[in-house]
Amino acid sequence: MRIIQSRSFEKRVRRFRKQEKKVLEKKVLDQQVKKIAKDPSIGQEKRGELRGVFVHKFKIHATLYLLSYRMADSDTLELIMIGPHENYYRDLTNYLKTRS
């Protein structure tokens, strides 16, 4: 399976790694991406404006992170956005609207 990252995902991961400064968090993120690649239905599919987008939730220490993704085609997984829950869905909707 091919995995691609959106610009938003790349920017947030770079910022995330700088803030955390720990190898453990990077490994946790990599493990979650591998889980999604193995079973893309692991996340919850969204409705309405976000139809076709899945969101997978996981914790790093005490913080709940959301990772949104979608299947670009049968063999390509697109990682859209990652971040804490606060304003996540608003930002995700705005990002997808500006992208279309």
User: The domain 2-99 is classified under which CATH number: 3.30.2310.20, 3.40.50.10860, 3.10.20.810, 3.40.50.300?
Assistant: 3.30.2310.20
CA Rg, the chain, in Å? 13
φ/ψ of residue 18, rounded to 5:
-65, -40
Residue 17 has pLDDT above 80, yes or no: no
**Segment 60-83, tens digit of pLDDT:** 878 899 999 999 888 999 999 999
**Segment 45-59, tens digit of pLDDT:** 999 999 999 999 998
Q: Where are the domains of the chain?
A: 2-99
89, 50 contact by CB (below 8 A)? yes
Residue 15: both structure tokens together: 């910022």
Q: How far apart are CA 4 and CA 59, in angstroms?
A: 23
Q: How far apart are CA 77 and CA 75, in angstroms?
A: 7
Q: Specify the pTM.
A: 0.87
